[in-house]
Amino acid sequence: MPQLHLYVPEETAEALRRRARERGSSLSAYLAEIVGREVGGERWPEGFFEEVLGRWEGELERPPQGAYEDRARLG
């Protein structure tokens, strides 16, 4: 697995260390999680819908939305 190096202000480093400790994680694992969410968040995790939401059966239908309401103009 590749290693990446970065520099951050001391205050930021301490905040990251504290958050990693709160999660019971190493700093490296916590940073990898953050980076993974940022760059890997373009698609749903594999198995997300089955594990978290259950399985959907049937069709999605949008119920009637009704008529538009008349509103006063702004300004």
* Distance, CA of 50 to CA of 24 (rounded, Å): 27
Taking only the tens place, the pLDDT of each residue in 4-38 is 888 999 999 999 999 999 999 999 999 988 888 88
| pLDDT reported for residue 11 | 96
Q: What is the pLDDT of residues 29-65, one digit of tens each?
A: 999 888 888 887 566 777 777 777 776 678 888 888 8
- Where is pLDDT greater, at 2 or 28? 28
Which residue has better confidence, 56 or 1? 1
Token pair of 19 as six digits: 């958050």
Q: Does 69 or 19 have the greater pLDDT score?
A: 19
